[in-house]
Amino acid sequence: MSVRGMITDERRDLIATLRTLSDEEWEAPSLCGGWRVRDVAAHLCSDAVSPWTFGNVLVRQRFSFDGLNDALVEQKRAWPVERVLELLESTVGRGVLSATIPGVILADSVVHHQDILRPLGRTRTVPADRLLFTLSHPDPFARPWRIIEGLRFVATDVPWSRGTGPEIRGPGEALALAMVGRPVVLGELEGDGVDRLRDRLS
C-alpha cells in the first residue's frame, strides 16, 4: 500500500477511536507534555491548514516548529469536540501536508494515536505495514537522531532492526515511541542499551 493510503487508513482508525471517547477522556492528559487528548487531535488537524496559513504562523513563531504546533493547537483549544472531529475527517484522503510530506505525516499520526490511547489505558495492534514504516522513518521533527545514535534497536514482534551498538529489544510499537522521546515505554524494553536510552529520555 502507498504511504498516502496508509495515512488514510490510520486517520480513519484514529477517528473511530476518538468517537468512542467520553467527555472526560477527551480532556485527559496525553503522552505529549502539556497537551490533552483533544489537543493532540487538534494538532493532527494541521493537515487541513493551507500553505499560506502554515507559512504565516511559522514566520510569526520565528521558524520554530514547536511554536508552530503550539500556536495551531491554541487556535482550536476551545473548539467543541465535534468541530475538531469534523475538521479531522475533512483531511481523510486529502490532507495538505499528507500530499507534501506523507512520510512525516504517517509516522506522526501513528505515534500520536498511541499518545492518545496509552494514558487512557487503551491498546491496539498497529497494522504491521504502518508500524514498519514508522520504525524505519521516525518523524524527523522529533529529532530521533538524538536518541538512536550509537544504539541498536531490534523489534521482537515484527521483522525489523536498525543501528549498531548496545542492543535494545522490545515490541515494535514501544521502540517507535522510544525513538521519538516517549519514556513511558522503557519498562517494556530490554537489552544492554536500555540504560543509555533511559539517560537520553530523562
Residue with cell 487508513: 9
**CB of 132 within 8 A of CB of 6?**
no
**CB of 70 within 8 A of CB of 43?**
no
Is residue 137 scored above 90 in pLDDT?
yes
Q: pLDDT category, 187, cuts 50, 70, 90? A: very high
**42-93: pLDDT as tens digits:** 999 988 877 777 778 778 877 777 777 777 778 888 899 999 999 999 999 8
Percent of the chain whose pLDDT exceeds 70: 98
**139-149: pLDDT as tens digits:** 998 999 999 99
**147-181: pLDDT as tens digits:** 999 999 999 999 999 999 999 999 999 999 999 99
Mean pLDDT of the chain: 93
